[in-house]
């Protein structure tokens, strides 16, 4: 905001200086003669020599032609510039006025009006931009910083001009998404802590019984065979009870830890492919990777276009990260009521026997070679495709990795 205010002040100062410089040049020229009167005086002399009747009205610089020998008193009343010349055997006083005053005044006024008009118009535009764009944007520029600090509760107020309507709407959606994720994280942590406390309390009871039985057996307190059989049976029951609790803990820990929101609807496949093609054509051209999108017949797909875009982006990013950077190709095929989208990249180093695990969570292949990653990309792709009633699978042939997303047609 301050930088823009400085720009406005700088513009005003520059316009004032330019106007002052031009005015100085114009004022300096005022009062100087152009010398054109000498040409017209010479013309008047030639006409008088020829005996013609000459009038000052026929010339722009000549203001009066007087016969001195005729003792014309008007010839000496004027205070204009003049020259004396002999023509036709008589002396003439030829007065002239070719100073630049009039033209300079007009130019001076025109230049000042022009500079003032330009200054007012540009200043009005700058002030409008300041009020309607810079100031509203300055208010929302702090939002990313506030979001990073966890301040997610205050909704964004959209400016009436709505220049940043979509941008503000997107930021507010991001705020709501982060707030929702934060709340789900709290709820998940609370449920997990409650479950652990409950199960740990439940485990203590059978565990205490087993400890008591083991101490009694160690001291030889049970000599009756029937009592010993009862004790052994109780220990087995308590061990089975603990095993059930452990199974519940394992089941809880293996539950899906990522929630996916999918809104299935009908859309054209080109809505997704056009965006993917435009983005990666630009990105991969910088890397020197040959990126091609095979020609295809557009069709209606049932699913979530944003989620399909996310799936294809994850697949292509994996192809960039784990391929050799030579080529990436997107091809299409049809099978029954489904459209198959295959992303194929060269330079695959993943062993074929590891293909069964690439869609598992937190699994990373032997071809990662220290590259950063979480092992969740393809797991997320599978979850999303399943949520859209589709599927995903992979194959390796002749050093090429192919990952195919199966999309259901409308």
Q: What pLDDT score does 214 carry?
A: 85
Q: Which two tokens stand for residue 93?
A: 């006083």
Residues 338 and 284 in one domain: yes
Residues 249 and 367 in one domain: no
Residue 301 in any domain: the answer is yes
Residues 281 and 337 in one domain: yes
Of the residues 253, 288, 309, which one is the last residue of a structural domain? 253
Residues 89 and 127 in one domain: no
Residue 292 in any domain: the answer is yes
Transcribe 42-66 into DSSP letters. Answer: HHHHHHHHTT----GGG-SSEEEEE
- 0.75 surpassed by pTM: no
Rounded Cα–Cα distance for residues 373 and 376 (Å) = 8
Domain that holds residue 120: 2-29+102-140
Greatest C-alpha distance within the chain = 170
Of the residues 253, 279, 302, which one is the last residue of a structural domain? 253
CA 309 to the chain's CA centroid: 18
Of the residues 230, 253, 276, which one is the last residue of a structural domain? 253
Residues 322 and 351 in one domain: yes
Residue 150 in any domain: the answer is no
Residue 152 in any domain: the answer is no
Helix (H) or strand (E) holding 258: none
Residue 361 in any domain: the answer is yes
Residue 260 in any domain: the answer is no
Q: What pLDDT score does 182 carry?
A: 73
Q: Which two tokens stand for residue 11?
A: 């513009």
Residues 401 and 281 in one domain: yes
DSSP-derived pairing of the beta strands 290-293 and 300-303: unpaired
Residues 350 and 336 in one domain: yes
User: What is the side-by-side order of every strand in the sheet holding 90-96?
Assistant: 62-67, 90-96, 81-87
CATH of residue 240: 1.10.287
Residues 287 and 369 in one domain: yes
In DSSP terms, 99 is beta-bridged to: 33
Rounded Cα–Cα distance for residues 110 and 116 (Å) = 10
Residues 113 and 218 in one domain: no
Q: What pLDDT score does 77 carry?
A: 63
Transcribe 57-100 into DSSP letters. Answer: GG-SSEEEEEETTTT-THHHH--SEEEEEEETTEEEEEEE--BS
Residue 323 in any domain: the answer is yes
Q: Which residues contact 7 (CB under 8 A, 6 or more apart)?
A: 126
CATH of residue 387: 3.30.565.10
Task: Count how many domains the chain has.
Answer: 4
Helix (H) or strand (E) holding 39: helix 36-49
Residue 147 in any domain: the answer is no
Query: Splitting the chain (410 residues) into consecutive groups of 10 residues, what average pLDDT does each group show?
Result: 80 85 68 69 85 84 79 61 82 76 64 85 87 74 68 59 67 76 73 74 81 82 81 85 78 60 93 92 87 94 94 93 92 94 93 88 78 81 94 93 95
Residues 70 and 190 in one domain: no
Residues 331 and 403 in one domain: yes
Residues 16 and 68 in one domain: no
Task: Yes or no: say if 146 and 178 are a contact pair by the CB < 8 Å rule.
Answer: no
């Amino acid at each position: 905001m301050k930088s823009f205010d400085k720009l406005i002040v700088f513009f005003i100062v520059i316009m004032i200086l330019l106007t002052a410089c031009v005015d100085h040049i114009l004022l300096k020229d005022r009062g100087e003669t152009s010398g054109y009167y000498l040409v017209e005086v010479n013309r008047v002399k030639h006409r008088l020599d020829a005996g013609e009747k000459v009038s000052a009205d026929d010339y722009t610089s000549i203001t009066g032609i007087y016969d001195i020998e005729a003792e014309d008193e008007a010839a000496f009343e004027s205070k204009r510039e003049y020259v004396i010349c002999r023509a036709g055997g008589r002396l003439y006083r030829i007065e002239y006025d070719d100073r630049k005053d009039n033209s300079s005044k007009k130019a001076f006024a025109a230049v000042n009006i022009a500079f003032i008009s330009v200054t007012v118009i540009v200043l009005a535009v700058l002030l409008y931009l300041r009020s309607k764009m810079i100031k509203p944007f300055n208010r929302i520029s702090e939002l990313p910083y506030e979001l990073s600090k966890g301040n997610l509760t205050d909704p964004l107020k959209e400016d009436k001009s709505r220049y940043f309507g979509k941008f503000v709407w997107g930021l507010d959606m991001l705020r709501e998404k982060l707030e929702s994720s934060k709340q789900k994280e709290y709820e998940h942590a609370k449920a997990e802590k409650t479950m652990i406390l409950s199960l740990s309390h439940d485990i203590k009871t059978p565990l205490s019984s087993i400890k008591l039985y083991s101490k009694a057996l160690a001291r030889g307190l049970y000599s009756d065979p029937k009592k010993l059989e009862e004790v052994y049976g109780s220990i087995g029951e308590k061990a089975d009870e603990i095993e059930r609790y452990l199974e519940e803990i394992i089941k809880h820990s293996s539950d899906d830890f990522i929630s996916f929101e999918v809104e299935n609807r009908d859309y054209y496949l080109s809505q997704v492919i056009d965006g993917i093609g435009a983005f990666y054509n630009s990105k991969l051209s910088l890397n020197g990777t040959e990126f091609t999108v095979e020609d295809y017949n557009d069709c209606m797909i049932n699913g979530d276009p944003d989620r399909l875009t996310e799936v294809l982006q994850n697949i292509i990013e994996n192809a960039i990260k784990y391929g050799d950077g030579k080529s990436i190709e997107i091809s299409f095929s049809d099978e029954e009521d489904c459209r198959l989208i295959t992303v194929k990249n060269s330079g695959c180093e993943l062993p074929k026997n590891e293909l069964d695990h690439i869609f598992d969570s937190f699994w990373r292949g032997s071809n990662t070679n220290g590259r950063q990653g979480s092992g969740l990309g393809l797991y997320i792709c599978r979850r999303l495709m399943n949520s859209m009633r589709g599927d995903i699978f992979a194959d390796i042939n002749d050093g090429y990795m192919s990952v195919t997303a199966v999309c259901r047609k409308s």
